[in-house]
Structure 1
Amino acid sequence: MAPRAVWKGVLKIAEVTCPVSLYTAASTSERISFHTLNRKTGNRVHRQFIDEVSGKPVETEDQVKGYDKGNGNYVILEPEEIAAAIPESDKTLTVETFLPCDEIDDIFFDKPYYVAPSSPVASEAFALIREGMKGQKSAALARTVIFRRMRSILIRPHGEGLIATTLNFDYEVRSAEDAFSDVPTIKIDDEMLQLAEHIIKTKAGEFDPKEFDDRYESALAELVQAKIEGRKIKPQKRPEPTKVVSLLDALRESAKGGAGKKAAKAAAASKEAPRRKAG
């Protein structure tokens, strides 16, 4: 079944327009989810908003947004006031500029969406935009109102379509300087650096998302299935504490291990080759 579009509008570059749809590219809907139950009755429970002074439940129609001015004093904002302040969406994804694909630091990346033409008539304009961006190795920086907020969006070619990634605002990205301010400047010994580089080279590979399993999700699925079947789950073994060794010794041992595994793979491959030829 075709996925459901979360947004439909027009991609606009100068005077060129193309009707497009956005589809969620990453979702957590497949994760195991739980309900909160009353242990005594087995019934589901629901949350209530409680007045923190009177202790009484507050009905939905009596709930309003409030901004704390300080000392517990609030400015009350009515729903219609908030709605009036939010910019209206004209459903236009307006491209403001083009830039190299790697120009934006990925720390600003928020959520990815697939972009596709929303009708067969739009396919030609869509293909023109996609191929033009591929040829120039460019990304498009656009703006639109999505989910009631004005967002900056980075659009990049991706296979037969485009990827639109919403971007965090500057004020949302915390300063790296603050995070790294306590990291001391250390001069690394040449031998240690060479060993580290060697280990990195021996472990070089390619990214394959299928190789990364969600162990937490797998453990939950096994636990749920065992409970359904009435089986007992054996507790996971805790990893043995590692022996404290010097950083240099750890690097040396790691380098030996990497080299040994690489040599073993090469030896196995050389033994297997004659068999394959003979077959």
Structure 2
Amino acid sequence: MSARAIWKGYLSIGDVGCAVALFSAIDAQERTSFHIINRDTGNRVRRQYVDEDTGKAVDKDDLVKGYDQADGHTVVLEADEIREAVPDSDKRLEMSTFLPCADIDTLYLERPYFLAPADAQSVEAYDLIRDTMVATNVAAVARTVLFRRVRSVLIHPEGRGLIATTLNYDYEVRDPAESFGDIAKVKIDSEMLDLARHIIDTKMGRFDPAAFEDRYEEALAELVRAKIAGRKPKKLPKRKAENVTSLMDALRRSAGAPASSKGKAQPAKSRKAAPSAGRQKKAS
């Protein structure tokens, strides 16, 4: 079954453009999902909005949004007031700014969507836009109204199509200094750097999401299967805790060198030869 578009509009660069459709790139339906059940009756329960003072349930038609002020008063906003305040959408994705792909700060990426031509007549212009972006190795920033909100979108080519990723606004992203500002500066020993580089070199690979394990989902699925079969769930293997006395010992063990070495540790040979320490130091 073909995917259903969640938004349709017009992608353009100046006077060049085409009709496009937006599709969700994320499918959470494959995850194990549950209903909330009343243990005593076995019946499903439903959520209800309740007035915090009277304790009585509130009908959906009586729900409005409120904004708390510093003085304790609440400003009430009706649904039609919010609708009128939100900018109208002209269904247009105008690619106004282009930037090198290497300049993209992934911290601002929010959620990806597939952006495809909406009809056969749009394919030629769509391919022209995509192929030009591939040739120049750039991404584009565009703005439009999505899901009742003006959003900035990053568009970049991917295979035969385009990926549109909604962006976090600057005010939404916290200052990294809040988390990293108190990290003390430490001088790392050159032997530690050599060992760490060797460990990374032997573990180099390719980005392959299919190899990522969702251990939480796997454990839930096994629990459900076991319940249905009337057996105990299989336990996932736990990592063994290793008693490492120092960071240097941990590095030596990971590199395959004896932890008790007194001199410079020599990393164990791997199937992929690591650069010599001399070449590593030159490259750093």
1:241 matched to 2:241? The reply is: yes
253-262 vs 41-50, greater mean Cα deviation: 253-262
| Cα distance change on mapping 1:150 and 1:231 into 2, 3 Å | same
CA deviation map 1:158-187 (0-9, x unaligned): 111111111100001111111101110111
Instruction: Determine the C-alpha separation between the residues in 2 that align with 1:117 and 1:68.
Output: 44
2:143 is aligned to 143
Q: Does 1:37 align with 2:37?
A: yes
TM-score after normalising by structure 2: 0.89
Aligned to 1:50: 50
Residue identity matched to 2:39:
R
Shift of 1:236: 4.6
2:267, 2:209 → 1: CA distance?
Answer: 25
User: Would the aligned equivalents of 2:244 and 2:250 in 1 still touch at CA under 8 Å?
Assistant: no
Aligned residue identity for 1:162? L
Q: Does 1:93 align with 2:93?
A: yes
Q: Using the alignment, how far apart are the partners of 1:201 and 1:235 within structure 2?
A: 33
Q: Alpha-carbon deviation of 1:262?
A: 2.3
Distance in 1 (CA, whole Å) between partners of 2:226 and 2:12 is 53
Structure 1: gaps of 5 or more residues:
267-279
Contact 1:23–1:114 under 8 Å retained in 2 = yes
Task: Report the equivalent of 1:274.
Answer: none
Q: CA deviation digits over 1:238-274, x for unaligned, max 9?
A: 54432131101111111117965724x99xxxxxxxx
Percent of pairs with identical residues: 54
Letter in 2 for 1:53: D
1:234 is displaced (CA, Å) by: 4.5
Compare the two structures and name the one with the higher helix fraction. 1
Measured in 2, the distance between the counterparts of 1:46 and 1:132 equals 51
Tell me if structure 2 keeps the 8 A contact 1:110–1:167: yes
How far, CA to CA, are the matches of 2:196 and 2:108 in structure 1? 30
TM-aligned CA distance change 1:239 to 1:133, over 3 Å:
closer
Equivalent residue runs for 1:250-265 within 5 Å: 250-256=250-256, 260=268, 262-263=270-271
Separation in 2 of the partners of 1:121 and 1:228? Answer: 52
Larger displacement relative to structure 2 (95-104 or 230-239): 230-239
Deviation beyond 4 Å, 4+ runs, structure 1: 234-238, 257-261
Q: Deviations over 1:64-95 (max 9, x none)?
A: 10001135421000111000001111111111
| CA shift in 2, pair 1:237/1:231, >3 Å | same
Structure 1 Cα separation of the partners of residues 44 and 73 of structure 2: 36
Measure the CA separation in 2 of the matches of 1:150 and 1:200: 42
CA distance in structure 2 between the partners assigned to 1:233 and 1:56 by the alignment = 42
- In structure 2, what residue type is equivalent to 1:153? V
Match of 2:108 in 1: 108
1:269 maps to which residue?
none
Question: Counterpart of 2:270 in structure 1: which amino acid?
Answer: K
Partner in structure 2 of residue 79 of structure 1: 79
Is this contact kept in 1: 2:143–2:151, CA < 8 A? yes
Q: Distance in 2 between matches of 1:130 and 1:108?
A: 22
What secondary structure, in the 3-state scheme, does the structure 2 residue paired with 1:102 have?
Answer: helix
Q: With structure 1 as the length reference, what TM-score do the two structures score?
A: 0.90
Question: Is the alpha carbon distance of 1:235 and 1:204 closer, same or farther for their aligned partners in structure 2, counting shifts above 3 Å?
Answer: closer
Separation of aligned partners in 2, 1:233 and 1:155: 44
Q: What's the C-alpha RMSD, in Å, of the aligned pairs?
A: 1.8
CA distance in 1, matches of 2:182, 2:143: 37
Aligned to 1:172: 172
Read off the aligned partner of 2:225 and give its amino acid letter. Q
Whether contact under 8 Å (1:115, 1:161) holds in the other structure is yes
Identify unmatched segments of 5+ residues in structure 2: 258-265, 274-284
Q: Measure the CA separation in 2 of the matches of 1:71 and 1:45.
A: 38
Aligned to 1:222: 222
Q: Say if 1:202 and 1:259, in contact at 8 Å, map to a contact too.
A: no
Count of residues in Structure 1 that have an aligned counterpart in Structure 2: 265
Q: Which amino acid aligns with 2:144?
A: T
Letter in 1 for 2:13: I
Displacement of 1:102: 2.0
In 1, the alpha carbon distance for the partners of 2:269 and 2:91 equals 56
Q: Which amino acid aligns with 1:54?
A: T
**238-247 or 158-167: which moved more?**
238-247
Could you tell me whether the CA contact under 8 Å between 1:7 and 1:23 is conserved in 2?
yes
3-state DSSP of counterpart to 2:69: strand
